[in-house]
């Protein structure tokens, strides 16, 4: 249990680098994976979010990588997003501080010629997103013939993003004789298939069952009738809970992320930013940096940031939408409670999202405690365009609370209630408390 990194048979440069970073003990996945990766076998490593999967593959890879003047990369690491390329290159830089190692990262959205020149200088380890990697190969700026070790990190997300064809082409281009390494907190059928086709008798190293959330992430949820009420609740939580110091806020779409941010800007000017795939490359990298270094109190993002991102001490993850796949939920909440820290994850659930909740709870084998809406949070009856459309088309029905009788409106409203129509707030809260409608809707007939 108390094994230190010294027992892993690492050479001095790696041990010194780990010491500089303040790490003394390997995590369970790092301990378990080390010798198996060294043995040269293909490996599938499954462990929870934030438990050190990155070093679980980097340590044995760097342990056995010999100094070489060879121009073409011998280690290739494929990740889904540019943010992860940047993060990984930086981690490898720290870990190889006392080694003579050439590492580079390539990703789309930047000048390909600059990157072609960079890789032409020769490198040992290449970190890449699939699309740009293929482009570099196609323009013959990069040869993959020397790759002996391939790591695919967050593979299910690579597939989710529609990179399947690219990944297949890449795997076909790589030398047959190579070691394949795959690390994840979740598994999907698609990933299983890919492993079946491209991996060679892989050894499964499972610290916890795929899809297990971290116990130290305090999970909770609110049932909220509509998007505008979600915004009000978000404001309420941020205004009342001082422990919300470093908050990662997720929205389902770029548009939703922008709207959440626009709203927060009016309530908490300059404390939040929003990032997603429509933002410029520089903006994206800087947004994460400003969130990391505490310049920002919070960052609003799409699922772009749900994967792999290792920002220190995120206190809260807030899901304004309920993720439509349980894997995304696990990864989103996994941005908090990393390494030795604790964290909280709060999810806002509209009626139409209840089915997602049940998928999430099934995967986790755990229920998320529902909290009653705070007494003084403001319930809005104003629906967004999307919610109105859904309402009229009958699909993805998002329930709006029925309006109060006008008889109660003669006396002066309290200040905080003036701006918004409260709707049937009391009834709604009572329903939420008992987790079911007071008056049942008739069941839909087939």
Question: Residue 185, class by beta-carbon neighbours within 10 Å (0-12 exposed, 13-18 middle, 19+ buried)?
Answer: buried
> Between residues 11 and 113, which has the closer beta carbon with respect to ligand CDP?
11
> With contacts defined by CB under 6 A, how many residues of the chain interact with ligand CDP?
16
Contact window for Mg ion (CB under 5 A) among 48-56, 89-97, 227-235, 361-369? 48-56
CA separation, residue 180 to residues 42, 54, 67 (Å) = 5, 15, 21
CB of 26 to ligand CDP, least distance (A): 5
Q: What is the DSSP string of 389-413?
A: HHHHH-SS--PPPPPPPGGGGSSPP
Considering CB distances under 5 to 8 angstroms, the limit depending on partner class, which of ligand CDP, Mg ion, none binds residue 338?
A: ligand CDP
Q: How far apart are CA 248 and CA 324, in angstroms?
A: 18
- Give the C-alpha separation, 337 to 302, whole Å: 19
Segment near ligand CDP (CB under 6 A), from 23-31, 66-74, 242-250, 397-405?
23-31
Residue 423 backbone class (left: φ over 0; alpha: ψ -120 to 50; beta: rest): left
Size of the site for Mg ion (CB under 5 A): 2
10/256 with CB nearer ligand CDP:
10
Binds 348: which of Mg ion, ligand CDP, none (CB < 5-8 Å by kind): none
C-alpha distances in Å from residue 370, one per residue of 27, 217, 354, 431 = 32, 15, 12, 12
Which residues, numbered 377-436, are part of the site for Mg ion (CB under 5 A)? none
The option from Mg ion, ligand CDP, none interacting with 51 (CB < 5 to 8 A, set by class) reads ligand CDP
Among 55, 227, 272, 348, binds ligand CDP (CB under 6 A): 55
The answer to whether residues 383 and 352 touch, using CB atoms and an 8 Å cutoff, is no
Nearest approach, Cβ of residue 336 and ligand CDP (Å): 11
Run of H or E residues at 99: none
Is the sign of the CA dihedral 357, 326, 265, 336 positive or negative?
positive
Structure tokens at 176: 């047959």
Residues 290-329 that bind Mg ion (CB under 5 A): 308
Structure tokens at 90: 């930086």
The reply to whether 27 sits near ligand CDP by the rule CB under 6 A is yes
Among 53, 259, 276, 279, binds ligand CDP (CB under 6 A): 53
338 binds ligand CDP (CB under 6 A): yes
**CB closer to Mg ion, 211 vs 308:** 308
Residue with smaller CB distance to ligand CDP, 217 or 432: 217
**Choice between 91 and 361, CB closer to ligand CDP:** 91
> Distance between CA 44 and CA 182 in Å, rounded?
5
Please state, in angstroms and rounded to a whole number, the distance separating the CA atoms of residues 328 and 81: 15
Report whether 12 contacts 36 (CB < 8 A): no
Q: What is the dihedral of CA 154, 160, 164, 167, to 10 degrees?
A: -20
**To the nearest 5 percent, what fractions of the chain are helix, strand and coil?**
40, 15, 45
The site map against ligand CDP for 306-325 (x = CB under 6 A) is: ----x---------------
For 73-159, strand residue ranges (E) read: 75-78, 103-106, 125-128, 149-153
Residue 36 or 373 having the CB closest to Mg ion: 36
Q: Which residue is nearest to Mg ion (CB)?
A: 308
The reply to whether 53 sits near Mg ion by the rule CB under 5 A is yes
**Partner whose binding site includes residue 202, from Mg ion, ligand CDP, none (CB under 5 to 8 Å by kind):** none
Q: Which of 52, 105, 130, 202 binds ligand CDP (CB under 6 A)?
A: 52
* Residue 339 within binding range of ligand CDP, rule CB under 6 A: yes
Find the shortest distance in angstroms from Cβ 330 to Mg ion: 12
Which residue lies nearer to Mg ion by CB, 308 or 423? Answer: 308
CA 70 to chain centre: 35
Which of ligand CDP, Mg ion, none sits in contact with 229, Cβ below 5 to 8 A by type? none
Contact call for residue 49 and ligand CDP (CB under 6 A):
yes
**Footprint of ligand CDP on this chain (CB under 6 A)?**
23, 25-27, 30, 47, 49-55, 310, 338-339
């Amino acid at each position: 249990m108390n094994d230190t990194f010294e027992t892993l048979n690492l050479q001095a440069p790696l041990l010194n680098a780990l010491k500089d970073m303040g790490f003394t003990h390997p995590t369970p996945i790092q301990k378990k994976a080390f010798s198996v990766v060294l043995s040269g076998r293909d490996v599938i490593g499954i462990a929870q979010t934030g438990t050190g999967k990155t070093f679980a593959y980097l340590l044995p890879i760097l342990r056995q990588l010999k100094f070489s003047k060879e121009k073409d990369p011998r280690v290739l690491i494929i990740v889904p997003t540019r943010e992860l390329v940047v993060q990984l290159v930086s981690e490898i830089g720290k870990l190889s501080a006392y080694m003579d190692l050439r590492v580079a990262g390539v990703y789309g959205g930047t000048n390909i010629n600059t990157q072609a020149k960079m890789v032409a200088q020769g490198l040992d380890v290449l970190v890449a997103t699939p699309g740009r990697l293929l482009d570099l190969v196609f323009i013959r700026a990069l040869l993959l013939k020397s790759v002996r070790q391939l790591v695919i990190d967050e593979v299910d997300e690579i597939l989710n993003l529609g990179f399947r064809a690219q990944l297949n082409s890449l795997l076909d281009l790589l030398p047959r004789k190579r070691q394949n390494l795959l690390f994840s907190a979740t598994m999907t059928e698609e990933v299983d298939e890919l492993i079946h086709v491209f991996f060679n008798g892989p050894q499964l190293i499972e610290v916890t069952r795929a899809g297990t959330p971290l116990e130290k992430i305090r999970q909770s949820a609110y049932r909220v009738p509509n998007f505008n009420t979600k915004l009000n609740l978000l404001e309420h939580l941020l205004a009342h809970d001082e422990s919300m110091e470093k908050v990662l806020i997720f929205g389902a779409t770029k548009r939703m992320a922008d709207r959440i941010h626009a709203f927060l800007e009016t309530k908490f000017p300059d404390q939040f930013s929003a990032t997603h795939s429509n933002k410029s490359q520089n903006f994206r990298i800087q947004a994460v940096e400003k969130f990391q270094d505490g310049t920002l109190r919070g960052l609003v993002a799409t699922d772009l940031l749900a994967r792999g991102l290792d920002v220190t001490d995120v206190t809260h993850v807030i899901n304004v939408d309920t993720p439509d796949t349980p894997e995304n939920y696990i990864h989103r909440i996994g941005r908090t409670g990393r390494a030795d820290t604790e964290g909280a994850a709060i999810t806002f659930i509209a009626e139409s999202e209840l089915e997602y909740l049940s998928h999430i709870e099934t995967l986790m084998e755990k229920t998320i405690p529902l909290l009653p809406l705070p007494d003084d949070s403001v319930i809005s009856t104003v629906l967004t365009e999307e919610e109105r459309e859904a309402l009229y088309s009958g699909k993805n029905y998002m329930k709006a609370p029925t309006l109060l009788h006008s008889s109660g409106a003669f006396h002066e409203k309290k200040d905080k209630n003036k701006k918004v129509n409260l709707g049937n707030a009391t009834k709604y809260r009572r329903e939420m408390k008992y987790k079911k409608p007071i008056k049942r809707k008739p069941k839909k007939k087939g």
